[in-house]
Amino acid sequence: MTDAPRRRGAERTDAIMLTTLELGREIGYARLSIEAVAARAGVGKHTIYRRWSSKGALLLDSLLSLNESGLDYPDTGDIAADLRAQIYAAVDLLGGPPFGPLFQALVGEAQHDRQVAVTLNERFIAPQADKTVARLKAARDQGQVAPDFDLELAMAILSGPLYFQLLITQEPLTHEYVDRVLDALFAGLRPS
Partner DNA sequence: CTATAAACGAGACGGTACGTCCGGTCTTGCA
Partner DNA sequence: TGCAAGACCGGACGTACCGTCTCGTTTATAG
Q: Which residues bind DNA (CB under 7 A)?
A: 4-9, 12, 31, 33-36, 42-47, 49-51, 54-55
Cα–Cα distance between 122 and 7 in angstroms, integer? 30
Cα–Cα distance between 33 and 16 in angstroms, integer? 12
| Residue whose CB is less far from a copy of itself, 49 or 186 | 186
Taking alpha carbons only, the member of 172, 159, 166 closest to residue 106 is 166
Shortest approach of DNA to residue 15 CB, angstroms? 8
C-alpha distance from residue 116 to each of 3, 7, 13, 93 (Å)? 34, 28, 18, 20
Residue 82, contacted partner among a copy of itself, DNA, none, CB below 5-8 A by kind: none
Question: Amino acid letter at 116?
Answer: V
Cα–Cα distance between 82 and 76 in angstroms, integer? 7
Of these, 23, 37, 38, 117, which contacts a copy of itself (CB under 8 A)? 117
Shortest approach of a copy of itself to residue 16 CB, angstroms? 21
Cα–Cα distance between 87 and 83 in angstroms, integer? 6
Q: Cβ(43)–Cβ(15) under 8 Å?
A: yes
Of these, 33, 53, 67, 111, which contacts a copy of itself (CB under 8 A)? 111
Taking alpha carbons only, the member of 183, 96, 90 closest to residue 128 is 90
| Residue whose CB is less far from a copy of itself, 43 or 125 | 125
Residue 70, contacted partner among DNA, a copy of itself, none, CB below 5-8 A by kind: none
Segment interacting with a copy of itself, rule: CB under 8 A, options 7-15, 28-36, 39-47, 68-76 = 28-36
Binding site for a copy of itself (CB under 8 A): 28-31, 104-105, 107-113, 117, 120-121, 125, 143-150, 153, 155-157, 159-165, 167-170, 180-181, 183-192
